[in-house]
Amino acid sequence: MNEENFIIELQLGKQSAFSQLLDDYQQKVFATCISFIPNKEDAEDVAQEVFLEVFKSIHKFKGDAKLSTWIYKIATNKCLEFIRKKNTKKRFAFMQTILGNEIPFDKTNYFTEVNHPGILLENKEKSAIIFKAINTLPESQRVIFTLAKIDGKSYQEIVEITGKSLSSVESIMFRAKKKLQEKLENFYKSNN
């Protein structure tokens, strides 16, 4: 079945089309989520939110881009939303501690837990350092670097997902690589 007919079946709410969508995209969406959120349970939760959003919004899909691009855009946005919420909760808990109204919260460094299947490094310590460095990048650099280098998307796919121009994506990627290189060089110099 071609994509146009598949989208029509999704928009009509056909169960078989939704099952096919899950079969085709479940692993891909999870891979994208875990690229941004290196914690298996959280990535699974966000992936579920992605499909809920897809099911809820499929009638709004106009076909301006490929279905896969639209789904990856939703996945990227849901991941960023999750990260923002997580960071806000940490700041709130920190402020509560300072003000004396201590409330319990997870004091572990969220982005140092690494269960990403796509990164094959010798040990978790190196992975944690890299993820920590990636997560210090400005949001636009973090998104483009993660989509390209961790999730394996082409620049053209990133253009479609982010809505940025190709030259903008290339420029942001260049700055992200440069900033990461500096951060990792400084880290290794200070730890040797």
Write the CATH number for 61.
1.10.1740.10
Helices vs strands, H then E, count in the chain: 8, 0
The residue range of the domain holding 62 is 3-190
> What DSSP letter does each residue of 105-167 carry, written as one string?
---S-GGG----TT---S-HHHHHHHHHHHTTS-HHHHHHHIIIIIS---HHHHHHHH---HH
Output the pLDDT for position 39. 85
Output the pLDDT for position 111. 46
Interval 103-146: pLDDT, tens: 344 433 444 444 455 544 444 566 677 778 888 889 899 999 98
Domains: count for the chain: 1
Top pLDDT among 70 and 126 is at 70
Interval 150-162: pLDDT, tens: 888 899 989 988 8
Q: Of the ranges 8-12, 13-17, 42-46, 181-185, which one carries the lowest mean pLDDT score?
A: 181-185
Determine what percent of the chain is predicted with pLDDT higher than 70: 76
